[in-house]
Amino acid sequence: MIRLGVNVDHVATVRQARRGHEPDPVTAAHEAELGGADVITVHLREDRRHVTDRDVRLLAQTLQTPMNLELAVAADVLALALEVRPRLATLVPERREEVTTEGGLDVAGQLESVRAAVARLAEAGVATSLFVDPDPRQLEAAARTGAAQVELHTGPFAHAWRAGAPDPELTRLRRAADTALELGLRLAIGHGLDYRNVVAVRGLPGLEEMHIGHAIVSRALYVGLREAVRQMKALLGPP
């Protein structure tokens, strides 16, 4: 059974459009849990453009499901992760000018700083996942950091799927999934997944977890968040 991690950043984005109090991503996370989310994902960006420290602290206190905290390898966000100790910390690249995360983390190019972050999180009892492109060089580097898991970046696959030619990207993902398994890394995927393209990737070998935000929060506008999560869960398999 593949676990569904629901990313509620997009709810926080709507709140920040007015810099007000609603909609509250903490309430949304609880609704997502009631719809069957297995994990709640939030990205604490260095610029705090959507999710805030308050959100992360409240989620840590009130979630019934595990939290997956996405963060860059940067001192202040790492300090909050060490304070709240989510079940999983996913290290992601971050550029201030980007609209959303673009490209995977260059683990091979910054092996020592990633390794140090993974070690500090492990000391606090937090497992680490690395968000990487489906590239064997990055996966081999990921295995050398001591991280427990990788999350393969499915953004390029989602674009290719929309353009009607997903096969080369699907092949890349399948090969990367095999490599991750050979290296003893647990496997998650995420970015750009929706109610249609998810069917093409749910059978990846060894896949344990998916992280999906935009598609679920978008559908929630029409059907409500519980129902939107329930519909996505139904696509991931039994029961």
In sequence order, the 6+-apart residues with CB closer than 8 A to the CB of 218 are 10
Of 94, 191, 209, 211, the active-site residue reads 191
Taken in order 212, 214, 217, 218, is the CA torsion positive or negative? negative
To the nearest whole angstrom, how small is the minimum distance from the Cβ of residue 183 to ligand PXP? 19
Q: What is the spatial distance between Cα 214 and Cα 5, in angstroms, rounded to a whole number?
A: 12
Among residues 15, 30, 211, 233, which is the contact residue for ligand PXP, using CB under 6 A? 211
Task: Convert residues 23-62 into a mask of x (bound to ligand PXP by CB under 6 A) and - (unbound).
Answer: --------------------x-------------------
Which residue is associated with the tokens 């709240």?
A: 84
Binding track, positions 77-106, relative to ligand PXP; x by CB under 6 A: -------------x-x-------xx-----
Binding status of residue 214 toward ligand PXP by CB under 6 A: yes
Q: Which of 70, 94, 151, 209 is catalytic?
A: 70
Residues 59-78 that bind ligand PXP (CB under 6 A): 70
Using the contact rule CB under 6 A, the part of the chain among 76-84, 159-167, 188-196, 225-233 near ligand PXP is 188-196
**3-state secondary structure (DSSP) of residue 227:** helix
Query: Would the CA dihedral through 225, 193, 187, 80 be positive or negative?
Result: negative
Pick 63 or 232: Cβ nearer ligand PXP: 232
CA atoms within 13 A on the CB side of 231: 16
Min dist CB 214 to ligand PXP, Å, is 4
Tell me if 210 sits within 8 A of 174, measured CB to CB: no
Measured distance CA(82)–CA(85) in Å, rounded: 5
209 an active-site residue?
no
Catalytic residues: 43, 70, 191
